[in-house]
Amino acid sequence: MEFKGKKIYIAPHTPKTTMFATELQEQYDFTFLGFVDNFQEGQRIVKPSQITEEYDFILILSQNHGNAIYEDFSKKLPQNKLVKVEILAGAYNFLTAQEIKNSLVQERSKKRKQSFLKIAATLLDLIGFKRNKIVFISKSSITTNNKALFTHCFKEGLDVCMLTDNIEQYKELKTLDMPVAHLQSTQAYWLMAQAKFTVQDQANLTQEINLLSPKQKSLQMWHGIPLKRLNKLTTVSYDYLISTSDFVNETTLSHVIQAKEYKNFGYPRNDIFMKETHDKYDLLFCDETIYTFAKKNFGSEHKIALYMPTHRESSKAAKIPLDFEELNAELQKNNTTLILKLHHFVQELYKQEASYSNILFHSTQGDVYPLLKYTDILITDYSSVYFDFLLLNRPIIFFDYDKEEYEANMQGFLYDYETFTPGYHAMNQEELHQALQEIIIIGADSFDVQREKLKSKLFFYADADASQKISTRVLQSIIKR
């Protein structure tokens, strides 16, 4: 699609669209007029009814609400000026009118299922249906907390079912004879209507949560302690939110997620750090070849480093400023293997996988938490994984080469970055090599006290019982009433 010389608005106003606007302006010569958003106010943010300037396009980028925004705007604004944007394989895809029409057909099908959900849940209440089922909702991917609590409850013999639209993970659960249904199926909506609890660790399918009956309960576990700023979820309120400490609730989560009760039980995904052995359910979606390699070498002279950069919104922003040949030589010298766990936007790095003796590429959607137990050094930047890694009190390197740009795009950090990142900081490859040498060769680690201090602030519990606490004190406690 041609944007040169055009006047463009972008909707809605989020950290993602802020980054989108910045990158798009670097690629195209156009006039950026600002953001269109029904729910936010600020400089260069207008509601659809407030648009007075002449414009050529409004680009709509929202993974969960794109169709709803498009339908709402199309009632007030010329449809031929509305462009829906998706991110596919790291590139921005500007949908044609027919593609938008097809996605709207899917959206209408979803709305019919939502109506069915509301009616079914109400009818089950009227006939006095006894609800015992716990339904886990995982859109796009079954991620860490949902997986950990689901497998725990399954092994306990509770009536559970995983709802997902990730076909590969769906098949893997089927292979293990675990209860699973396709998220977009009518069966899934029937299971939601029957559920006593719906459990999530992402902020999607919020409309479905709002359609449940008052006799049903919702539990949100979220996907980590946030470092970057997040917009408040105003469209849904949960019955329970799983957190890690009062400090985290007061400073971040309560400002993002609305819930009736906040439970500081910790994250189920972190239980695996304390387990002596891992069974086949713990290793679900795990790259077992790499896991076995790390477990074999952990505690030996050969060190395991894991690099997990945070998610960037596009392939350009996600590219890592590293010379992998040079890095591989440094790793050989230090007797270290580096495992990279990258977002699927950076798939092109896989093409070079065979070239490096000391660099391994973890599957992009695989569960890395079993591997963290056998990791000597974590390299990251702004990802919440490093908060969890504090429970192991091992060295962390913050490869924050784009800190200023990232901070600006994300509207700042929730915590003071320097205080809340206890580890070595590397702004370039040379500094990264130096940090690795100090930890591995010299044996220097002057941040252990800082890590322990931060851990005690962020985690009320530092044990392996988060799943058990949630299961007994929340799920089973309510079901048995």
| Pairing of β 82-88 and β 91-94 | antiparallel
pLDDT at 313 (0 to 100)? 57
Q: Is the pLDDT of residue 172 over 80?
A: yes
What are the phi and psi torsion angles at 11 (to 5°)?
A: -135, 150
- Per-residue confidence (pLDDT) for residue 168, from 0 to 100: 94
Grade residue 212 by pLDDT with cuts at 50, 70 and 90. Answer: very high
Pairing of strands 160-164, 377-380: unpaired
Q: Which of 60-74, 189-203, 306-320 has the lowest mean pLDDT?
A: 306-320
- Spatial separation of the C-alpha atoms in residues 243 and 86, rounded to whole Å: 31
Question: Tokens in use for 224?
Answer: 């980590």
Which of the four pLDDT bands, split at 50, 70 and 90, describes residue 380?
Answer: very high
Residue 48 CA to residue 36 CA, distance in Å, equals 6
**pLDDT score of 350 more than 70:** no
Mean of pLDDT values over 323-341: 95
Q: What is the enclosing helix (H) or strand (E) of 240? A: strand 237-242
In the predicted model, is pLDDT for residue 351 greater than 60? no
Listed range (84-88, 179-183, 365-369, 469-473) with the worst mean pLDDT: 84-88
Structure tokens at 119: 């009616």
Counting residues of the chain whose pLDDT is more than 90, the rounded percentage is 76
Token output for 174? 């089927």
What pLDDT, on a 0 to 100 scale, did the predictor assign at position 335?
A: 97
Query: ∠88-89-92 over CA atoms, to 5°?
Result: 45
In contact, 196 and 134? CB cutoff 8 Å? yes
In this prediction, residues 12-30 reach a mean pLDDT of: 86
Q: Given this model, what pLDDT does residue 25 score?
A: 84
List strands edge to edge, sheet with 217-220. 180-182, 160-164, 133-138, 195-200, 217-220, 237-242, 258-263
For the chain, report the end-to-end CA distance as a whole number of angstroms.
58
**DSSP letters spanning 366-428:** S--HHHHTT-SEEEESS-THHHHHGGGT--EEEE-TTHHHHHHHTTSBSS-TTTT--SEEESS
Q: What mean pLDDT is predicted for residues 150-163?
A: 98
pLDDT reported for residue 82:
94
Mean pLDDT value across residues 199-219: 95
Query: Does the pLDDT value for residue 97 go beyond 90?
Result: no
* For range 333-337, the mean pLDDT: 97
The average pLDDT across 294-306 equals 97
pLDDT given at position 26: 78
Residue type, 324: F
- Mean pLDDT over 121-135 rounds to 98
Q: How confident is the model at residue 376 (pLDDT cuts 50, 70, 90)?
A: very high
Q: Which amino acid is at 62?
A: S
- Amino acid identity of 260? K
Structure tokens at 214: 């008052």
Return all residues near 250 (Cβ < 8 A) that are at least 6 apart.
Answer: none
The DSSP element (H or E) to which 218 belongs, if any, is: strand 217-220
Q: Where is pLDDT greater, at 369 or 107?
A: 369
**How many Å apart are CA 272 and CA 324, to the nearest integer?**
31
Name the band, by pLDDT with cuts 50, 70 and 90, for residue 452. Answer: very high
Domains and CATH numbers, the chain: 7-95 (3.40.50.720), 109-271+464-479 (3.40.50.11820), 276-458 (3.40.50.12580)
**Amino acid, single-letter form, for residue 399:** F
Query: How would residue 217 be classed by pLDDT, with cut points 50, 70 and 90?
Result: very high
* Strand, helix or coil for residue 169: helix
- Whether residue 247 is predicted with pLDDT greater than 80 in this model: the reply is yes
Coil, helix or strand at residue 262? strand
Please give the backbone phi and psi of residue 308, each rounded to the nearest 5 degrees, phi first.
-130, 90
365, pLDDT greater than 90: no
Can you say whether the dihedral through the CA atoms of 374, 378, 383, 387 is positive or negative?
positive
Given a cut of 80, is residue 209 above it in pLDDT?
Answer: yes
Residue 354 pLDDT class (50, 70, 90 cuts): low
Q: pLDDT category, 64, cuts 50, 70, 90? A: confident
Q: What is the pLDDT of residue 346?
A: 62
Tokens 């974590």, residue located: 378
- Mean pLDDT for 376-381 is 97
More confident residue, 206 or 219: 219
Compare 319 and 352 and report the one with higher pLDDT: 319
Q: Indicate the pLDDT class of residue 88, thresholds 50, 70 and 90.
A: low
Q: What's the confidence (pLDDT) of residue 132?
A: 97
Is the CB of residue 454 less than 8 Å from the CB of residue 420?
yes
Q: Which of the residue ranges 95-104, 171-180, 246-255 would you say has the lowest mean pLDDT?
A: 95-104
Q: Please give the mean pLDDT across all residues of the chain.
A: 92
- Confidence at 344, pLDDT banded by 50, 70, 90: low
- pLDDT category at 349 given cuts 50, 70, 90 is low
Query: What mean pLDDT comes out for the span 407-415?
Result: 85
Please give the residue that has the higher pLDDT: either 192 or 63: 192
Q: What is the mean pLDDT of residues 31-57?
A: 95
Query: Would you state the pLDDT for residue 250?
Result: 95
Q: What's the whole-number mean pLDDT along residues 401-421?
A: 89
Ranges assigned E (strand) in 20-132: 31-36, 45-46, 57-61, 82-88, 91-94
